[in-house]
Structure 1
């Protein structure tokens, strides 16, 4: 397994090579994204120093056990409860597999989740839908749910980390421009724990679905410093989620 992504970031470390600050035993079922939401291709991401516009493909989540730590990236050694990736490909490509042949063919936006004392009503539809996809190869439809409900307000998306790395799932292709926002999304413990109630086909609880933190291998991690907003956020908020499905590992 290539040791490029995810990496540990440190606040304010613009252009700095950062040390590995946390490692996790490589024992989790990590071969595929367990909960995946298909997105319409008219959701675009551009700006924020991305070289070209990218179109949305899907979003998925990584989590821990019963609402415990489960993010794939860490900041200053802190692992968050969950992490969401919104995956995009260059407009010229027709599929994710095609885009992975380009060293910058995929742009992934990452969002951290943190536990809150109260529930986040914007995630009620997704948490409720999990009850309909408790087994592999099942799917359900989400209605009246938009990306603007799932991500932080635009004004809270000016601080982000950027680095070039790989997929965090096999085949770990070196083709991802990562953007990781440092403002976490808040969910209650009950909402966070709902994800690990899903099960694999062998009946085992679906938990700790994250790849262990990897060495940087001389990569540079850049921080926006809160000065440049990712222009894509405006376009992302106009998108409507169509369906949700997850596959066995």
Structure 2
């Protein structure tokens, strides 16, 4: 009988450490905070075990060029607004006026901006949700749009192509990106979960690369990257990263989850493609192939030189 006590106790502890209806990131999980980590998000919402989940790893050599992926048309992206930035317990989010729209880019309709939020690592370490050829960037920006006919995101998610998300990667730079000063400064006032503060005059255009640097992108059909994981998202991932200094990136890790722990590694691991095809715009360049081409040309030129 005594030999059975230890296994029973261990089984009980395992149950205590895994059972909860709340979803969380892996970095939040402890026995003191019972929650469903990404591998158990289907316990929080069954849609999270679907076949078209996000994020994914983009294998550039397997992408297909698509002539329909023309440059985007950004309308009112330079509109300056005063918003509220909130620590929602999982990320920081800013709701935006439904004035900025996107069209073109192979989208089936015009989509209006609803909100933007970010995903990051730990103190500027790897933290993007999507990866490119296995590379994980320090942070990723998601600008969420819904089809212009809808008035709320919940309704838009009931349409198979109701939501379009623009994803942007960040890279470390030696100098600070002054266009992000107002946002970085605001983070210091919302370290606690559910805290919010006013965001001084800002525009979507100032957060992303210039329009002429956004002709190279990848496209695939996927889902929300948090529960309920609804598979109604047209994803666009831009090649050109946004520069932020190490100190700017590190500031995001000073935020707190609802349990008071540091808000770090706020990304869902990449999900299986399950037969989906990833497409690339005409401007998207497969770096490996380009490097081989340059090497071949250089070698050919060297061979053609007279001795």
1:204 aligned partner: 261
Q: 1:187 aligns with which of 230, 239, 244?
A: 244
User: SS at 2:154's partner residue?
Assistant: helix
| Aligned Cα root-mean-square deviation (Å) | 1.6
What CA distance in whole angstroms lies between the structure 2 residues aligned with 1:44 and 1:88?
Answer: 8
Preserved CA contact (<8 Å) 1:13 1:223: no
**Rounded Cα–Cα distance in structure 1 between residues aligned with 2:176 and 2:260:** 28
Q: Are residue 156 (structure 1) and residue 213 (structure 2) matched?
A: yes
- Aligned twin of 1:8: 57
Separation in structure 2 between the aligned mates of residue 32 and residue 84 of structure 1, nearest angstrom: 17
CA distance in 2, matches of 1:158, 1:11: 16
Structure 1 contact 14–224 (Cα < 8 Å) conserved: no
CA deviation profile, 1:173-223 (whole Å, cap 9, x unmatched): 010000000100000000001001001222100000000011101111001
Query: SS at 1:201's partner residue?
Result: coil
Spell out, residue by residue over 1:21-50, the C-alpha distance to the aligned partner (whole angstroms, 9 max, x if none): xxxxxxxxxx97510011110111111110
Q: How far did residue 143 of structure 1 move? A: 1.8
Runs of 4+ residues deviating >2 angstroms: 10-16
Return the alpha-carbon distance in structure 2 between the equivalents of residues 12 and 51 of structure 1. 26
CA contact (8 A) 1:159 1:225 kept: yes
* Alignment correspondent of 2:176: 119
Count the aligned residue pairs: 213
Residues 1:216 and 2:273 are matched in the alignment: yes
* 2:103 is equivalent to residue 54 of structure 1: no
Is 1:42 matched with 2:99? yes
* In structure 2, C-alpha distance between the alignment counterparts of 1:154 and 1:33, rounded to whole Å: 30
For 1:106, the equivalent position in structure 2 comes to 163
SS in 2 for 1:50: coil
Instruction: Give yes or no for contact 2:56–2:270 (8 Å, CA) kept in 1.
Output: yes
Could you tell me how far 1:136 is from its partner in structure 2?
Answer: 1.4
Q: Which runs of 5+ in 1 are unaligned?
A: 17-30, 228-249
Bigger helix share: 2
The offset of 1:12, in angstroms, is 5.3
DSSP-derived class of the 1:214 partner = coil
Query: Mean Cα displacement is larger for which, 93-102 or 1-10?
Result: 1-10
**What is the rounded CA distance, in whole Å, between the counterparts of 1:152 and 1:164 in structure 2?**
23
